[in-house]
Amino acid sequence: MLLDSLFARRLVVLTGKGGVGKSVVGAALALAARGRGKRVLLVEVGAPLEAARRLGGAPSRGRETEALPGLFTLNLDPQTVMDEYVRHVVKFDLVARRVLASPIYHRFFAAAPGLKELMVLGKIMVLEQANRRLSREPLWDLIVVDAPATGHGLAYLKVPLAASRAVPVGPIGHNARRILALLRDPERTSIVVVAAPEEMAVVEAVELYRATRDDVRIEPQAVVLNGCHERRFSDEDEAWVLRLGTKSESGELEPGVPLQAAVRAARRQIRRRKLTRFYRDRLHRSLDSPLVSLPFLFREALGVDELSTLADALEAA
């Protein structure tokens, strides 16, 4: 099963085009792992609306916060992570506070290419290596990372490679090589590309998959096609709906449900189902990794129940 393979590692990184539902997939993966008895940390990067709200928990405010028993969330702000790193390196609190208050420091952090990404990945590496104090067992059985959208997400994967080449000595270069080794280690890290059955989302998913594999030399373990419209009618029913749509018949299916409105809704469902099949087949032809489809949920808002439905779909894949 797919989850057996993903959960054999301790770090799962999700990336893909913005708007495809990465945070939803990440929360569903975290719930599925929690259902297997794992202690899970769901990490987001600069998320304006945290996944904790869907899980019924409080915002993390930069700290690991338990949203459900055994499932914690953490929203990483790059500036806060950098400040934490400065306090760790500069041992004297007075000196650290002066550095953090300096305008030069803030301009440097804003302008230095790749620094934000490197700091966030360094923090994730620290979390992955964290142990319990007494038993020395890993603090987290699984860390699910909801990485930024495609362009920034690819930058997060490329930055350690670029930094390790550009800085051959010193702590930055050393940490960059450690981060790159973690991301490339197939026994510790899984990369999952998330897409939706839409043209640009699928195009970007294929490009991201290939760039991750060819440029960074990290092989994605799976692709998740989120928001899929599945078949609701038989072939005969679909043909009947399409024929009925060409006619001008009136009436009601039942009180308050006009016939033509129902036909239009049915035709939209058929069209979306065909588009889902088209893009699913396209991903199958283009990529080598396992492809998992998650259903479109007809809900205004997604909560624990809806995420559990998606977790069950992932578990069955």
Give phi and psi for 183, each to the nearest 5: -65, -35
Q: What is the pLDDT of residue 247?
A: 67
Residue 272 lies in a domain: no
Q: How confident is the model at residue 60 (pLDDT cuts 50, 70, 90)?
A: confident
Q: What is the pLDDT of residue 254?
A: 73
Q: What is the pLDDT of residue 139?
A: 93
Residue 271 lies in a domain: no
Residue 87 sits in which domain range? 2-229+290-316
Tens of pLDDT, residues 187-200: 999 999 999 999 99
Q: What is the pLDDT of residue 52?
A: 83
* Nearest by Cα to 15 from 171, 228, 216: 216
Give phi and psi for 121, each to the nearest 5: -65, -35
Residue 239 lies in a domain: no
- Over 60: is that where the pLDDT of 315 sits? yes
How many independent structural domains does the chain possess? 1
Cβ 216 vs Cβ 210: under 8 Å? no
What's the whole-model pTM score? 0.89
Q: What is the pLDDT of residue 264?
A: 83
Q: What is the pLDDT of residue 97?
A: 86
Q: What is the pLDDT of residue 175?
A: 86
Residue 251 lies in a domain: no
Torsion 193-22-177-163 (CA) sign: positive
Does residue 46 sit in helix, strand or coil? coil
Residue 243 lies in a domain: no
Residue 284 lies in a domain: no
Cα–Cα dist 117/81, whole Å: 10
Residue 110 lies in a domain: yes
Residue 245 lies in a domain: no
Q: What is the pLDDT of residue 203?
A: 93
CATH of the domain at 297: 3.40.50.300
DSSP codes, 225-276: EEEE----S-HHHHHHHHHHTTS----EEETTEEHHHHHHHHHHHHHHHHHH
Tens of pLDDT, residues 255-294: 777 777 888 888 888 899 999 999 999 999 999 889 999 9
